[in-house]
Structure 1
Amino acid sequence: MVGQSKFVQLGAQNKELFGWITATYLLIAIISNLSSYFQWPDLAIQGVGYSIIDILVLFVILYTSGGVSVGIGILLVVPVLIPYICAPGQVSIAMAAMTGICLIGLEIWLGLQDGLNNTTSLTHSGILTSFILLASWLGDRWIRKADEMAKLANRRGIDLANLSQLNQSILDRLESGIVVVETSGAIRHMNAAAWHLLGNPGNWRSKPLAVFAPELDKHYQQWIHEVSPRTASYDLRHQQATELRVRFTQLGTQTRRNTLINLEDTSEQREKVQGVKLASLGQLTASIAHEIRNPLGAISHAAQLMSESQNLDKADTRLLQIIQANAKRMNLTIESVLNLSRKKEPKRERLPLKGWLHSFLRDFMLQHNLKEKQVTLFIEPADLMIEFDPAHLHQIMWNLCRNAFKYAHENPQKLQLDIQGGTPAHSRDVLLNIIDNGRGIPEDLRQRLFEPFFTTSTQGTGLGLFMARELCLSNGSALEYLALPTGGCCFRIVFSRATH
């Protein structure tokens, strides 16, 4: 009937051969899956080999079904293109050409067997052959471009890996600390300098910053919520010990960003400022010695001569005593300033902190008639070592302990002096607290404790704490006052660059 669809049955020309080829192909498919799973032989060999088998099977199906008129010849494009992916080159081009030749040859052979002029089928096979060759040519160009892009991507990947390794090497060798933190607060990278500044934390990778540096994390959170993406710097004390200057810089975009944290130890800068300060103080004291000390000596000598006169009444004698007492006090102040300006460069030594303090406290208690129960010493770990000038440390400790003895209580027998030292977790520095049970220092006076010439005593010069702090600074350490909620005074020495 005209207009009725014509369905072509596969294998209609040779059903027996068609049955054998389908059964064989099923077995080949099972074997191919197993060989692909075990990757034997090589995947490139498998791709070419199984493509040839697919082409041969399709040709047999075409033969048993009556030629290209069955409509499945277009499937030959797939096995022709697969070798370009597995093994591009002359083999793949040759397979495409041979497939086209065999396709036309198959139609000629079928036409000769039937004894018919099969012009339509030949035209169909020619068009299909042209399409296969065109697809092969386009596939070859696409594969070549993809191969070039893959090689370029591989080279770029190697370059990026080398650049990343170079950048990491540079970061690791920087003297300033570098920490890269993710948005979640987890540490992504830390160089050796930062690791040392943060107290050699163990197993820090992908851990929150707050675990190792809560003070740093506090400033980081403040920067994230209030300042980012602008760069900002802050000064802080890590673990209440190491003085650091930190700078936060955003890396990446606002949505996918990391933060670069630059850490700098301010102790070296502090020591430079200290050197400039002492140089200026030396020039000042030279002028003091010339302009003040000589006239002061003349005043003191004149007052002494006048006191030997027999014609003085009690009022005059009292005035001369006031002149001499204040001349002595002024001379003591000048001597203290001169001693500070003449201070030599510190000669640092490795000192066992607990052993040195034990010896010092024994002498101090002996000279001030203190009982053993009035002074306690606790250092953990016991083998803690510091680097400090022994003479300077003696002067600092003597000054601090002497102040506690003089001002903590009116009756020195009520004094309780506690010396506590150790290393905080995740900190490289050593803390030493000198604590007494006295009245403490009023809040309005704490800000001026370390100012030169500031004193609340009529007997002092106001230079003791100032000199103690300057000696600490010259040794790369720090001296500070801590208010205690329980009362009393606590002076803390922070020793930098501690070693065990």
Structure 2
Amino acid sequence: MQSRARQASQVSSGGNQAYPAFVLHQNPWNPLQLYSIYRLILVGVLQLVTTSTQIPMQLGSYDDKLFSLGLNVFTVIAVLAVFSAHFRWPFYLAQVYLHPVVDILCLLVLIFASGGLHSGMGLLLSLPIILQNILRPGQFALMLTAMAIMGLLGVEVYMQQEAARTASDLSYAGILAMFVFAASWMLGKWFEKASITAALAKRRGVDLANLSQLNQSILDQLQTGILVVERSGVIRHMNPTAWDMLGRPDDWRSKPLRDFAPELNAHFKHWVANVCPKVVSYDIKHWRTTELSFRLSQLGTSSNGAALIYLEDTSAQREKQQGVKMASLGQLTANIAHEIRNPLGAISHAAQLLSESPELSKPDQRMIQIIQENSKRMNTTIESVLNLSRKREATRENIVLESWIQKFREDFARQSTLQINQINVFLEPTDAEIQFDPNHFDQIMWNLCRNAEKYAHEDASQLQLEIQCMQPAHTRDMILSVMDNGVGISETGQERLFEPFYTTSTKGTGLGLFMARELCLSNGANLEYVQLNGRGSCFRIVFAHRKSN
């Protein structure tokens, strides 16, 4: 398929139906249609002058009948030419060549019938000659100009012989002929150069349009978000990836950045005031949910120019790092199973054999009991770590949160000490869906709710659990929060909350929350603790956005 630039080049280079390059940007028939209207007005004025006795002009003074016949023929041709140009028949080039030739012949007849240039009609020959040099400059235009001048001089020479004329009339004819020829030649050259320049400008315009379209297509296909922001903070451009990262806002053009990304806007203002034009990178949490990394740079060399912002979602990088970490953990736990579990089994088995001895005193039996209990606890810890390292790759499925959470609520109330009215659910929107491994999601929710049941409140009958799901404005992520009205977690405990083996219980392994977060990371989500203003705790899961097809 030919490019638009090549097609424009072919149109301007010639051919039977080629149009003049300097009018390619508009309808090429417009000059012909305007000229046909001019011709109609001209014959109308000539008809009016010939019928009026108030206007002293020597029209038809040499041959009145020939003038009347010529003018009537010219009038009919003018009327037909209007319709011909309007309906564009015959084709363009035929009319370009035909109209000036017919007009020159008719005007020469009228000039002859009026006694030559003495009638003052000689200048009327200039316009059809100029029209030809405008529409089709070249050899034919010069030949037509020469023929018109020869015809005009022939009429004047004939009149010199037939009527009493002075030498000044012939000199006037020569001057007029030289003027018409020089003007037509200069106009032809000028319009020829103008045509070449216009064709070149048009090709450059097409090339720029194609390049702009290519750049726009590249920006639209980039997986990196692109934002162009004015110094004032107004958004000028946003590619689809950035639009998706910022929560698909409506009517964002020429709107302030702070309305859609306040954290990003704060860093942008700081960059404009203190850092520009240096290129810097920042990490933010968009609306405290989506983890984004962005880079700021100046667009162009002007100090007042716009800023270019590159946005990247760090979730994919986080998932990749999670895969590497789990591979390392798997290798570590394999060594643990070999180096620790076998000796631990021997210790546990020896303690069991010792406990069967009838000669043991009560202190010795208590010591053996301690050995067995701690051996079981150590074995449970090792099993938890092995299960974490052996966990299969997340198989994400679409989960409709409303039905899934309602079922989980009933199951948890049935298998725990809580009543179903102690577990409240709030979903907005009600048709919210996530992409998550169902088994992993079940483990995470059971872990969070079981921890709340065990540790949040001294009296479980006073405990209230609330499961909230919502999607904040200007974000693309779904948030699920598990909240309770318990005693909360101390600041020291919050710092180590997701560390492995950290626990405040003598019976726990300290791996529950660590495993819950690891499972979230495996599904492209994130688990975090949020400090509430009053009593209680809040664990929040930020789910990865659903990718559009």
Question: TM-score surpassing 0.5?
Answer: yes
Task: Look up the SS of the partner of 2:418 in the other structure.
Answer: coil
1:410 aligns with 2:458: yes
Correspondence for 1:96 among 140, 145, 152:
145
- Choose the corresponding residue for 1:139, options 182, 187, 208: 187
Measured in 2, the distance between the counterparts of 1:474 and 1:132 equals: 86
Distance in 2 separating the partners of 1:58 and 1:240: 87
Which secondary structure state, in structure 2, belongs to the residue aligned with residue 291 of structure 1? helix
- For the 8 Å contact 1:51–1:82, the answer to whether it is kept is no
Deviation at 1:98, TM superposition (A): 4.3
Cα RMSD of the aligned pairs, angstroms, is 4.7
CA drift of 1:57 comes to 8.8
Distance change in 2, residues 1:19/1:479 (3 Å): farther
Q: How far 1:358 sits from its partner (Å)?
A: 1.8
Residue identity in the other structure for 2:538: C
Structure 1 residues 214 and 65: alpha-carbon distance in aligned structure 2, compared to 1, 3 A threshold: farther
Distance 1:97 1:369, change over 3 A: same
Quick one: structure 1 residues 154 and 247, their matched pair in 2 at CA, closer, same or farther if it must change by over 3 Å? same
* Counterpart check, 1:282 vs 2:323: no
* Offset, 1:82: 4.4
Q: Who is 1:190 aligned against?
A: 239
CA distance in 1, matches of 2:447, 2:86: 84
User: Does 1:425 pair with 2:473?
Assistant: yes
Name 2:18's counterpart in structure 1: none
> Within 5 A, what are the aligned runs for 1:364-383?
364-383=412-431
Give deviations 1:173-231, integer Å, cap 9, x for gaps.
Answer: 44x1444535263353523x445444444555565555544444444555555555554
What is the deviation of 1:459? Answer: 3.2
What are the within-5 Å matches in structure 2 for residues 436-455 of structure 1?
436-455=484-503
User: Is the 1:47–1:86 Cα contact (8 Å) retained in structure 2?
Assistant: no
Structure 1 residue 320: Cα displacement:
6.0
CA shift, 1:462, in A, is 2.0
Match of 1:3 in 2: none
Closer, same or farther: CA 46–436 of 1 in aligned 2, 3 Å: same
Q: How does 1:347-362 map to 2 (within 5 A)?
A: 347-362=395-410
Which residue matches 2:542?
Answer: 494
- Whether the 8 Å CA contact 1:187–1:208 is kept in 2: the answer is no
1:181 corresponding residue in structure 2: 228
User: What SS does the corresponding residue of 2:58 show, helix, strand or coil?
Assistant: helix
CA distance in 2, matches of 1:54, 1:117: 26
Deviation at 1:388, TM superposition (A): 2.0
Structure 2 partner of 1:10: none
Q: Is the 8 A contact 1:483 1:490 kept in 2?
A: yes
1:81 paired with 2:130, answer yes
**Alpha-carbon separation, structure 2, partners of 1:134 and 1:79:** 15
Q: Map 1:295-374 onto structure 2 (within 5 A).
A: 295-300=343-348, 305=354, 310-311=360-361, 325-374=373-422
Distance 2:262 2:347 in 1: 59
Indicate which of 332, 335, 342 corresponds to 1:294.
342
Following the alignment from structure 1 to structure 2, what is the Cα–Cα distance between the partners of residues 243 and 226? 24
C-alpha separation in 2, matches of 1:311 and 1:486: 53
Percent identity reads 50
Question: How far is the alpha carbon of 1:99 from its aligned partner?
Answer: 4.9
Q: How far is the alpha carbon of 1:409 from its aligned partner? A: 1.8
* Distance (Å, rounded) in 2 between the aligned partners of 1:445 and 1:280: 27
Asked if 1:17 is matched to 2:58, the reply is: yes
Shift of 1:283: 1.2
Shift of 1:342: 1.5
Is the contact made by 2:315 and 2:524 (CA closer than 8 Å) also made in structure 1?
yes
CA distance in 2, matches of 1:256, 1:80: 54
Provide the rounded CA distance (Å) in 2 between the counterparts of 1:495 and 1:208.
27
The normalised TM-score by structure 1 is 0.76
Cα distance, 1:491 vs structure 2: 0.8
Take 2:458 and 2:98, find their aligned partners in 1: how far apart are those partners?
Answer: 102
Once residues 78 and 218 of structure 1 are traced to their aligned partners in structure 2, the CA distance between those partners, rounded to angstroms, is 67
Higher alpha-carbon deviation: 139-148 or 82-91: 82-91
Q: Deviations over 1:156-187 (max 9, x none)?
A: 3333333444444444444x144453526335
Q: What count of residue pairs does the alignment treat as equivalent?
A: 474
Give, in angstroms, the shift of residue 15 of structure 1. 3.4
Aligned residue for 1:287, secondary structure, equals helix
**Cα deviations across residues 351-393 of structure 1 (Å, max 9, x unaligned)?**
2212222222222223332123321011223332222222211
Deviations 1:54-104 (A, max 9, x none): 99999999x999979x9x999986774344334435564345334544565
Deviation at 1:492, TM superposition (A): 0.9
Secondary structure of 1:17's aligned partner: coil
- Provide the rounded CA distance (Å) in 2 between the counterparts of 1:199 and 1:408: 35
Instruction: Give the structure 2 partner of residue 468 of structure 1.
Output: 516
Q: Give yes or no for contact 2:478–2:542 (8 Å, CA) kept in 1.
A: yes
Deviation at 1:251, TM superposition (A): 4.6
How far the C-alpha of 1:327 sits from its partner, in A, is 4.1
- C-alpha distance 388-241 of structure 1, shift in aligned 2 (>3 A): same
Structure 2: gaps spanning 5 or more residues:
1-54, 62-66
Corresponding residue SS for 1:354: helix
Displacement of 1:326: 4.3
2: distance between equivalents of 1:116 and 1:383?
102
TM-score w.r.t. length of structure 2: 0.70
295 and 159 in structure 1: CA distance in 2 versus 1, 3 angstrom threshold: same
SS of residue matched to 1:376: strand
Bigger CA drift: 398-407 or 288-297? 288-297
Cα offset, 1:349, TM superposition: 2.9
Seen in structure 2, the aligned counterparts of structure 1 residues 348 and 19 have a Cα distance that, compared at 3 Å, is: same
Deviation at 1:143, TM superposition (A): 1.4
Shift of residue 279, structure 1, vs aligned partner: 1.1
Q: CA deviation at 1:262?
A: 4.1
CA apart distance, 1:479: 0.9
2:291 partner amino acid: E
**Per-residue displacement from partner, 1:9-49 (whole Å, max 9, x unpaired)?**
xxxxx93438999xx9xxx9xx99xx89xx95879979996
Report the alpha carbon displacement of residue 105 of structure 1 after superposing the two structures with TM.
Answer: 5.2
Change (3 A) 1:182 1:83: farther
Tell me if structure 1 keeps the 8 A contact 2:145–2:181: yes
Q: Which runs of 5+ in 1 are unaligned?
A: 1-13
Contact kept? 1:55, 1:76, Cα under 8 Å:
no
Distance 1:370 1:164, change over 3 A: same
- Cα distance in 1 for residues equivalent to 2:166 and 2:433: 107
Matches within 5 A, 1:218-237: 218-237=266-285
Equivalent residue letter for 1:85: I
Q: Secondary structure at the match of 2:498?
A: coil
Maintained 8 Å contact 1:187/1:205: yes
